[in-house]
Amino acid sequence: MTHTRPSQQPAVHKEILAYYARGKEDARLREGGAPAGRLEFWRTQDVLRRLLPAAPARVLDVGGGSGVHAEWLAADGHEVHLVDPVPLHVAQASRLPGVTAFIGDARDLSAEDAAYDVVLMLGPLYHLPERGDRVRALAEARRVVKPGGLVIAATINRYAQLHDLLREERYFTPLNRERTDAVLDDGRHPYHEEGFFTVAHFAQPEEVPGEFADAGLTVDRQYGVEGVAWLMNGVENWLDDPERRAAVLGATRRIESEPALLGASGHLLTAGRRAA
């Protein structure tokens, strides 16, 4: 892999880089991390394991963060390369067995054409507020994946912050309510100080297939990651109990592509392909 192509893109927002430079991302999906973080982790893993080709596949994990998913993908026998704009994340991911990590931007990948069996984009799309940038990132995924190869992208759903703040009872504070309501119409989340997510775009599920199509990708299916379980009181305790965890994961899997529920989930996965 080379890193010689000059970037034509605006830089990643400095607020996004500063947000992740705090070093909190690695713990987010692990034990004791963000509320429902483990549910997001296990459900993402469940969907990816069903969709990925048999190991060893060449996987490019774009916006892979500190490598929380790259780690188990490599342990499953895949050849995993990770790209992320945050130096701390790249340093953390580089230490994981079987993972190679590089600084980079989803809109301007340094990988060769058709170099990967699978491209994961579990982060960049919701940090690119402009539609043109999201399509550009998906077009880069299309370029570097092989014909017939798989592209899986994560988005944060439009009402995730509203649901999250209601669940945490933070919505009842006027300032929190005002900021949360301001995102509902167009999904544009601006920078706010500590306590809120950074610059982001919260998407409606139906937006994503159009962006895939404009990037030259077809869509196979969409998956709600957390379903409605993430909004329920006690879900963290349920996940500690192996039997209840299996029941929650099984129930969420059963309704994962139910159109009426896709937008209720916090995160959404859209899986598509480059034509063969």
Binding site for ligand SAM (CB under 6 A): 12, 16, 20, 25, 29, 62-65, 68-69, 84-86, 89, 105-107, 122-124, 127-128
- Nearest residue (CB) to ligand SAM, 67 versus 272: 67
Cα–Cα distances in Å, from 209 out to 216, 233, 268, 270?
11, 32, 12, 8
Cα–Cα distances in Å, from 21 out to 17, 48, 67, 116, 158?
6, 27, 15, 28, 25
What is the nearest approach in angstroms of ligand SAM to the Cβ of residue 271? 15
CA 63 vs. chain centroid, Å, equals 8
- Nearest residue (CB) to ligand SAM, 32 versus 174: 32
Q: H helices then E strands: how many in the chain?
A: 11, 9
What is the nearest approach in angstroms of ligand SAM to the Cβ of residue 243? 26
Say how many C-beta atoms besides its own lie within 10 A of residue 146's C-beta: 17
What is the nearest approach in angstroms of ligand SAM to the Cβ of residue 127? 4
SS (H, E, C) 154-175: EEEECCHHHHHHHHCCHHHCHH
Residue that the structure tokens 């590089």 belong to: 102
Say how many C-beta atoms besides its own lie within 10 A of residue 206's C-beta: 11
What is the nearest approach in angstroms of ligand SAM to the Cβ of residue 66? 7
- Nearest residue (CB) to ligand SAM, 13 versus 245: 13
- Nearest residue (CB) to ligand SAM, 112 versus 241: 112
What is the nearest approach in angstroms of ligand SAM to the Cβ of residue 172? 26
- Nearest residue (CB) to ligand SAM, 71 versus 117: 71
CA dist 117 and 147 (Å) reads 9
What is the nearest approach in angstroms of ligand SAM to the Cβ of residue 200? 9
- Nearest residue (CB) to ligand SAM, 69 versus 273: 69
